Amino acid sequence: MEHNGKWKIVCVSDHFMKEEFYLDCLKQFPDIELISIPYFGSHDRIEMRSMVDRLEKEGAYAFPPPPEVYEAIRDADLIMVHLCPIPRSLMEAAPKLKYILTNRGGLENIDMEAAHELGIPVLNNPAHNGNAVAELTVCLMVAETRNVARAHVAMKNGQWRENWPNTGRVFELRGKTVGIVGFGTIGRMVAEKLQPFRVKLLATDPNVTPDDPDLAKYNVKLTTPEEVMSRSDIVTIHARTAKKEQIIGKAELDLMKPTATLINTARAYLLDYDYLAEMLREERITGAALEVFPEEPLPKDSPFISLDNVTLTNHRGGDTVNCYSDSPEYLLTVLDELLKTGKRPKFYIE
State yes or no: is 43 an active-site residue.
no
* Rounded Cα–Cα distance for residues 108 and 86 (Å): 10
The arithmetic mean of pLDDT across residues 256-268, rounded, is 97
pLDDT digits (tens, 9 = 90+) for 65-121: 999 999 999 999 999 999 999 999 999 999 999 999 999 988 999 999 999 999 999
Nearest-CA neighbor of 289 among 269, 275, 307, 302? Answer: 307
Q: What percent of the chain has pLDDT over 90?
A: 87
pLDDT at 178: 98
pLDDT at 344: 87
* Catalytic residue selected from 68, 296, 329, 337: 296
State yes or no: is 267 an active-site residue.
yes
State yes or no: is 315 an active-site residue.
yes
pLDDT at 2 over 60: no
* Rounded Cα–Cα distance for residues 108 and 23 (Å): 26
The arithmetic mean of pLDDT across residues 257-264, rounded, is 98
pLDDT at 3: 54
Q: Domains (ranges, CATH) in the chain?
A: 7-124+320-349 (3.40.50.720), 130-312 (3.40.50.720)
For the stretch 161-194, what's the b/e string if a residue is b when 16 or more beta carbons lie within 10 angstroms of its beta carbon?
eeebbbeeeeeebeebbbbbbbbbbbbbbbbebb
Count Cβ atoms within 10 A of the Cβ of residue 344 and give its class: 0-12 exposed, 13-18 middle, 19 or more buried.
middle
> How many C-beta atoms lie closer than 10 Å to residue 46's C-beta?
10
Nearest-CA neighbor of 132 among 332, 345, 329, 315? Answer: 315
pLDDT digits (tens, 9 = 90+) for 10-53: 999 999 999 999 999 999 999 999 999 999 999 999 999 899 98
* Rounded Cα–Cα distance for residues 104 and 4 (Å): 29
pLDDT at 323: 86
* Rounded Cα–Cα distance for residues 23 and 25 (Å): 5
pLDDT at 7: 95
* Catalytic residue selected from 108, 188, 267, 291: 267
Half-sphere exposure of 163 (CA within 13 A, CB side): 0
Residues 6+ apart with CB under 8 A from 3: 31, 77, 339
Residues 6+ apart with CB under 8 A from 16: 48, 82, 83, 319, 324
The arithmetic mean of pLDDT across residues 190-199, rounded, is 98
Nearest-CA neighbor of 242 among 293, 276, 206? Answer: 206
Paired sense of beta strands 348-349 and 122-123, if any: antiparallel
* Rounded Cα–Cα distance for residues 294 and 13 (Å): 27
pLDDT at 347: 82
Q: Residue 116: enclosing H or E segment and its boundaries?
A: helix 112-118
Biggest alpha carbon–alpha carbon distance for the chain: 70
Q: How confident is residue 144, by pLDDT bands cut at 50, 70 and 90? A: very high
* Rounded Cα–Cα distance for residues 144 and 147 (Å): 5
What string of DSSP letters covers 12-54? Answer: -B-SSS-HHHHHHHHTT-TTEEEEE--B-S-SSHHHHHHHHHH
pLDDT at 67: 97
Phi, psi of 155 (to 5 degrees): -70, -35
pLDDT digits (tens, 9 = 90+) for 288-344: 999 999 998 999 999 999 999 999 999 989 888 888 999 999 999 999 999 999 888
Are 261 and 290 within 8 A, CB to CB? no
* Catalytic residue selected from 104, 128, 188, 315: 315
pLDDT at 105: 85
* Rounded Cα–Cα distance for residues 71 and 38 (Å): 10
Q: How confident is residue 154, by pLDDT bands cut at 50, 70 and 90? A: very high
The arithmetic mean of pLDDT across residues 209-229, rounded, is 98
pLDDT at 4: 59
pLDDT digits (tens, 9 = 90+) for 116-136: 999 999 999 988 888 999 999
Question: Which phi-psi region, left, alpha or beta, contains residue 128 (left: φ > 0; alpha: ψ -120 to 50)?
Answer: alpha
Q: Strands across the sheet with 122-123, in order? A: 32-36, 7-11, 78-81, 99-102, 122-123, 348-349
